[in-house]
Structure 1
Amino acid sequence: MQKEKCESLEQVRDKIDLIDQHLIELITTRQFYVDQAVRFKRTEHEVQSPERVEQVIAKVRQQAAQQGTDPDLIEQIYREMIQHFIRRELKEIRP
């Protein structure tokens, strides 16, 4: 998404609203693939996959730093999102 200078608060808010819409669409798409991944997991450990979580966190922290965004903020957001998806997956595999 291209960044552009805004000339009014209303324009800033419109841009933020558009970004929010895109973020929700992206999170929905991520959830779609997480829901597919659970079909390939058999155990709680495979769902929780602490090694994979740390790989994702390291990757997004690096991407955040490269783009000039606070890596701590991105890590916090991702940890919350990942935990939500893990809870969702666990509901699928537990009897």
Structure 2
Amino acid sequence: MKPSIKPQDCENIQEIRDAIDGIDLEIIEQLVQRHEFVKEIVKYKKGDEEGIIARERKELVLKQRKAWAEKKGLDPELIEEIFRLLIEKNIQIQREIFNSNNK
């Protein structure tokens, strides 16, 4: 749930924490949705290692997310690190799905 209050309008630490908690829940809900797409894309990828990893796409995503972060005033290196971890985990999940579908 989106915070209904702006950071500068918070009157105490609990209001700030509650708003952050709401934002974190939104992030998790978005990650769940992203995860569903990550699982679904296996149907369209070649089953070899290069097809699963999709190096060109990986580099494009990292570059693009860094640019988005910079444009929004976030630390692009932090965003790259977060997305690199997310992508590596997604690759692992896709390998597992592919391997279980081809037994």
TM-score by length of 1: 0.93
Q: Which amino acid aligns with 1:91?
A: E
Are 2:49 and 1:44 equivalent residues in the alignment? yes
Q: 1:23 aligns with which of 24, 27, 31?
A: 27
Q: Distance in 1 between matches of 2:51 and 2:43?
A: 11
How far did 1:91 drift? Answer: 0.9
Name 1:32's counterpart in structure 2: 36
Question: Secondary structure, in 3 states, of the residue corresponding to 1:13?
Answer: helix
CA RMSD of aligned residues (A): 1.4
- Contact between 1:61 and 1:74, CA under 8 Å: does it hold in 2? yes
Identity, % of aligned pairs? 32
- Contact between 2:39 and 2:97, CA under 8 Å: does it hold in 1? no
- 1:41-81 per-residue CA deviation (whole Å, 9 max, x = no partner) reads 12221110111010000110000000000000000000001
Counterparts in 2 of 1:1-12, with a 5 A limit?
A: 4=6, 5=8, 6-12=10-16
Task: Give ranges in structure 2 of 5+ residues lacking alignment.
Answer: none
- Contact between 2:42 and 2:97, CA under 8 Å: does it hold in 1? yes
Name 1:56's counterpart in structure 2: 61
Q: 1:89 aligns with which of 56, 76, 94?
A: 94
Task: Give ranges in structure 1 of 5+ residues lacking alignment.
Answer: none
